[in-house]
Structure 1
Amino acid sequence: MKKFILFFILATFSVIAQAQSGYNYYEWGFGGGIGYGKGYTDTKKQDYHPIFNVNIAYNYNPYLPIALEFQLGTLSGGGRTRDKDASGRQYKNNFKALILHSDFQAGDLIDYSDNGILNVVKNFYLGTGIGAVFNSMKDIQRTNLYIENGPIGTTRGFEGKDKSVNMVLPLRIGYEFKIYDDYDQVGYTITIGYEHNYTFGEGLDGYNDDPQIFKNNAPDQYAHFTLGFRYNFGNTVSYNKLIRNFKF
């Protein structure tokens, strides 16, 4: 009888300890990813390119990472023939960006305990932030190849800068897959997302012409689909809700 009671007590404490461990998370994360996207600039035609990133994140809680991200990629568009651009504009921008952003996941807002569907929904996120994009034109057509209403042989140069810096506002949406380690904490994450970046300026394509001459509906933008991986580490911190639901 004593052995049975002892076994029952040990089993109870084991279950409690396992449940308690599901409340903990790591304070920091480090990762990277690859995206595939294009610019939305003043040229009609835009090309798709890979965009790479590395980031370090402070996990304010398990559903609110705040990350400093470095991006590296290429944006290009237009063409020197009229079927690609009416004026023969073409650009290639090997850009870099430094962005501070946070992703607010549904799990911080909803009660997902003992609910299989909400345990899936809890990992969807919306995010935003602020940053800067550093533009560097590696190929750009500065002369109008098809100027209209002018004497034969005349040209008009396109205005703009080969190198510039613009503020950028990211809008992010996606889903995070949490991978738990032996301590039932989120040791790794895999994210699938979409990011649309609005810039405050006209530097992505290197063109900044008079909008009365060249129609310009909006500031330059770029967007990409992303696949990311992050390794979590550092201090163990407790959260007020069970992060890992052992029933699902």
Structure 2
Amino acid sequence: MPKLLKSTPLTIVFATLVHFSFAQSNYFKWSCGLGGGPNYSKTDVVKGSWGYTAYGELNYHFTPFVTAGVEAQYGMVQGGDVRNDPNNRQFVNKYSSVTANLKFMLGEAVNFERSTFLDNVKGIYAGIGVGLINNSMTDIVRFKPSWAAYEPGFGPFPGKDKSLDLLVPINLGFNYYLYDGYGYVRYVINLNAQSNFTFGEGLDGYDDSSRNFKNYDPDTFNTYSIGVKYFFGYIKAYRKTL
């Protein structure tokens, strides 16, 4: 009986340590990624149009599911149609941007270790950022053509061909995790939808008075992308099993 009493506390301590060791995982603190996809504009012209976006990113992981990062984009945003737009307006913007972003994933808030469904959707995330967008018009209608049905030759439409505006991206996406041979999360396939709100009149190159054109909402473009991420750097323990 004395031997049993002595061994029982040791057994409990050992079991606790074993449970703790299996209830946590290691993860890499850094990741980088590349991707791209189409975008669609909503600006001061009547109808938007499809363009393209390519991006690169670098992220620091406070946990596997809470990150802060920097994203750089390059692409083309366009809209309008010189023939079919009621005001014969059209633009093509070859833009570049840099933003700082915060992202929060579902896995940080739910207990996915005991649910297959939650484990499959733990990579769903939302995020917000702030940065700058550099606008460069490569094609824009400043004067109505001579064949326009209404006010032919009217112009110039006010605005700048090159400008720098404040940019606020809002992200909603999903990370699908891939593990290496040692059981670490090493790669991610990423699906992302991003709404980009610009504050200024540079995205479409038109800066008209609201007395002549409706101009009440920020110029925006939505990007739909697929990408890959790679995890690297030193590792840290996390309280959940990944």
Alignment of 1:216-235 (within 5 A): 216-235=215-234
What secondary structure sits across from 2:60 in the alignment? strand
Runs of 4+ in structure 1 off by over 4 angstroms are 19-22
Distance in structure 2 (CA, Å) of the matches to 1:57 and 1:227? 17
Percent sequence identity over matched residues?
32
Question: In the alignment, what sits opposite 2:115?
Answer: 115
Question: In the alignment, what sits opposite 2:40?
Answer: 38
Distance in structure 2 (CA, Å) of the matches to 1:24 and 1:73? 36
Shift of 1:55: 0.9
Question: In the alignment, what sits opposite 1:207?
Answer: 206
Alignment of 1:49-64 (within 5 A): 49-64=51-66
Q: CA RMSD in A?
A: 2.1
* Contact 2:143-2:153 within 8 A present in 1 as well: no
**What is the one-letter code of the residue matched to 2:126?**
L
Question: In the alignment, what sits opposite 2:26?
Answer: 24
Question: In the alignment, what sits opposite 2:99?
Answer: 99
Matched, 1:238 2:237: yes
Alignment of 1:141-156 (within 5 A): 141-145=141-145, 146=148, 148=150, 155-156=154-155
Shift of 1:147: 8.3
Matched, 1:77 2:76: no
TM-score by length of 2: 0.86
Question: In the alignment, what sits opposite 1:8?
Answer: none
* Contact 1:22-1:184 within 8 A present in 2 as well: no
**What is the one-letter code of the residue matched to 1:65?**
T
* Contact 1:21-1:185 within 8 A present in 2 as well: no
What secondary structure sits across from 1:113 in the alignment? helix
Which string of whole-angstrom CA distances, capped at 9 and with x for unpartnered residues, describes residues 43-94 of structure 1?
A: 123221221001111111100122211101001111221x2x1121111100
What secondary structure sits across from 1:117 in the alignment? helix
Alignment of 1:172-191 (within 5 A): 172-191=171-190
Distance in structure 1 (CA, Å) of the matches to 2:222 and 2:34? 17
Question: In the alignment, what sits opposite 2:4?
Answer: none
Distance in structure 2 (CA, Å) of the matches to 1:154 and 1:172? 42
Shift of 1:156: 2.5
Matched, 1:87 2:112: no
Q: How many residues align?
A: 224
**What is the one-letter code of the residue matched to 2:160?**
K
- Unpaired stretches in structure 1, ≥5 consecutive residues: 1-12, 244-248
Which string of whole-angstrom CA distances, capped at 9 and with x for unpartnered residues, describes residues 1-60 of structure 1?
A: xxxxxxxxxxxx9xx69x649611001111110121111111123221221001111111
Distance in structure 1 (CA, Å) of the matches to 2:139 and 2:53? 18
Distance in structure 1 (CA, Å) of the matches to 2:155 and 2:119? 60
Which string of whole-angstrom CA distances, capped at 9 and with x for unpartnered residues, describes residues 123-177 of structure 1?
A: 11011111111000001111134485x6xx6633101100001111111111100
Question: In the alignment, what sits opposite 1:131?
Answer: 131
- Unpaired stretches in structure 2, ≥5 consecutive residues: 1-14
Distance in structure 2 (CA, Å) of the matches to 1:71 and 1:217? 26
